[in-house]
Amino acid sequence: MAVLMLVIFLALLATAYFWGKRDLLSPWFLLCLAMLTSYFIVLLNYKNWEVRINGTFVIYITTALISFGIGAVVSKSFASKKLVATTSVERVSLKKELPQKNYPEIFFIVVSVMAAGLYCFKLLSDVGGSGTISERIRHIYDSVVAGYSPGFAFNQCLELVIAIAYINTYRLFQEIYSRGRAFSIINLSIPLFIFIIAVMISSDRNIFLRFAIYFICLFVLFFRENSKKKNINKSIVFKVAFLLLLLMIIFFLLGKSKQYGSGIFRSLSIYGGSGLYVFNLWIEDFSEPLLYGQSAFSEFIKVFNSIFGHVGLTLPDAQVNRFDAFIEFNSSNGYVFSSNIYTALKPYVEDFGFFGVILFPFAIGMFYQKLYMRMRKSKYGYNWILYCMLIYPIVFFPILEQLIRRFHLGFVYEIVWLSLVYYFVYGRIKVRNEEINTAKLSTKRLDNGGV
């Protein structure tokens, strides 16, 4: 069964790659790649985990990936011809895309320092305890798992730091690929380091992982748009491999900051592969009553009930915990690991059984294909940023559900802050440029004898 699953993964990956016209950022290809990578990690631990793949797992995983692909195909077939991506696209000069007005680099540094400072101070003073910084971060992590939150205002401080880091990253690539000013690149990088510090204090490495995925996808878009190489995918793979190594080291160090004792390979195995394997163990014996949406939509239900519960309007709530119970596995050779990370398919199965792995992936495939086609139609700009920012649930798919189950107010705040910061910088510049172009056109008409 293990070999059969590998063959199916490879076949679906090749199908998605060629259907997506060899685009490495096509959502169906990214999903197949993420699942194959996670499964490859499982195979690397074949002896230590005493891997035993069951037939139910193979059927569920295969069905989900095919269903996602069918959703993408349907979305593309119903799309307007104006939105359909083409392989031969007209290149746009990056220098023309750069705003002529100075980017507020110093302003964003000051805002990042203030917002991150307030957020970190609140966490450290509330639940940081005493001892070394690592011990205090560990205490924060334990408190968050137990339900602690610094409150709305301080959470918005963190969201603002994240939004600035995202927009600064976009601007950073603009400067790099247009051969911009060196001191601007340095100034743009400072909020990124502030962001990493805030993430470390928050103890939530998933925030960094989402940023890392955004960073890599945005890099691929900029590199592809500004490269004249024929075999561009080969160059992208080598460069992304280097970036992945760097980002994995940072991710590992963030884990060490909250006293994780695992080595880098064990950490990668447990975080990247155990979720898929534990789902394999879990699905074989699953026989619980179906929850009909209460698992996948658990966060939405909690928000809805907290808002409308005061007037007696509530939705059924199964009280699904954000942090699933740990499953511990003891190998006969003495290897022990425990994991509370599941693939995104777990809540879909809990809600609707086998039908869940048809329904949800199909809908998600349609959504992401639509988003992808809008991104492909664009040349730089907000659609690039939004796609790269929202693609992480696809990459997270083997690990845990990050789209529907995570769709709570915090997720909305992230998009709102990102949009506000983007249009604060680029929206007003676009309006000003249009005014300048209109003035130039009027002057030209007068010069030609117009009225």
> Mind listing the pLDDT tens digit for each residue in 336-352?
777 777 789 999 999 99
Mean pLDDT of 63-78: 95
Question: H/E/C letters for each residue in 333-391?
Answer: CCCEEEECCCCCHHHHHHHHHHHHHHHHHHHHHHHHHHHHHHHHHCCCCHHHHHHHHHC
CA distance 108 to 194: 11
For 63, the token pair is 């069905």
Percent of the chain residues topping a pLDDT of 90 = 49
| Residue 327, beta-bridge partner list | 339
pLDDT for 16 beyond 70:
yes
Are 30 and 395 in contact by the 8 Å Cβ rule? The answer is: yes
Are 221 and 388 in contact by the 8 Å Cβ rule? The answer is: yes
CA distance 247 to 166: 16
* CA atoms within a 13 Å half-sphere pointing along the CA-CB vector of 246: 10
**What's the pLDDT tens digit per position in 85-94?**
443 344 455 6
CA distance 283 to 64: 14
CA distance 299 to 317: 10
- Residue 369 is predicted with a pLDDT of 96
Reported confidence tier of residue 446, pLDDT bands at 50, 70, 90: very low
**Least confident residue range of 297-311, 402-416, 425-439:** 425-439
**What's the pLDDT tens digit per position in 259-302?**
776 677 777 888 888 889 989 989 988 888 999 999 999 888 88
**What's the pLDDT tens digit per position in 204-214?**
888 999 999 99
Longest dimension (CA), the chain: 91
More confidently predicted of 235 and 130 = 235
Residue 288, helix vs strand vs coil: coil
CA distance 134 to 127: 13
**What's the pLDDT tens digit per position in 96-136?**
555 545 789 999 999 999 999 999 999 998 887 777 888 88
* CA atoms within a 13 Å half-sphere pointing along the CA-CB vector of 448: 7
Which residue from 39, 40, 42, 15 is spatially nearest to 29, judged by alpha carbons?
A: 15
What amino acid occupies position 169? T
Reported confidence tier of residue 410, pLDDT bands at 50, 70, 90: confident
